[in-house]
Homo-oligomer: A and B are copies of this chain.
Amino acid sequence: MKISDGLLQGDPRALGRGISLVESRHPSAQELLRKVFPHTGKAAVVGVTGTPGSGKSTLVDALVERILETYSSLGIIAVDPSSPFTGGAILGDRIRMMRHSTDPRVFMRSMATRGHLGGLAKATAEAVVLMEAAGREFVLVETIGVGQDEVDVVRLAESVLLVMTPGTGDDVQIFKAGIMEIADIFVLNKADTPDCDALERRLAALLDTAAQDVPRPPVVKTVATSGLGIDGLWSVLLERIQSRTPDEKRQCQKRRIRWLLRDILRDRIFEKLQRLIPEAEFEAMVDRVCRGEIDPYSLADDVLRETGDA
Chain A residues near B (Cβ < 8 Å): 30, 33-34, 37-38, 51-53, 80-86, 90, 114-115, 117-118, 144-145, 147-150, 168-169, 172-173, 175-181, 206, 209-210, 250, 253-254, 257-258, 260-262, 264-266, 268-270, 272-273, 277, 282-283, 285-287, 289-290, 292, 295-300, 303-304, 309
Which residue of B has the minimal Cβ distance to A253? B290
Contacts of A81 in B (CB 8 A): 148, 176-178
Q: Which residues of B contact A277 (CB under 8 A)?
A: 265
Given A84-B178, A250-B290, A265-B304; 14 other pairs, CB 8 A cutoff: A33-B295, A34-B297, A34-B298, A37-B296, A38-B295, A52-B173, A80-B176, A83-B179, A84-B210, A85-B178, A254-B290, A257-B289, A261-B289, A269-B304
Q: How many angstroms from the CA of A51 to the CA of B176 in the assembled complex?
A: 11
Judging by beta carbons under 8 Å apart, are A292 and B51 in contact? no
The answer to whether A209 touches B261, judged by C-beta atoms less than 8 angstroms apart, is no
**What chain B residues lie within 8 Å of A253 (beta carbons)?**
290
Whether the pair A261, B285 counts as a contact (CB closer than 8 A) is: yes
Task: Return chain B residues, CB-CB under 8 Å to A297.
Answer: 30, 33-34, 37, 264
* CB < 8 Å neighbour of A296 from B80, B86, B257: B257
- Tell me the bound Cα distance from A145 to B179 in angstroms: 13
Residues of B within 8 Å of A300, CB to CB, are: 261, 264-265, 268
Residues of B close to A114: CB separation below 8 A: 148, 178
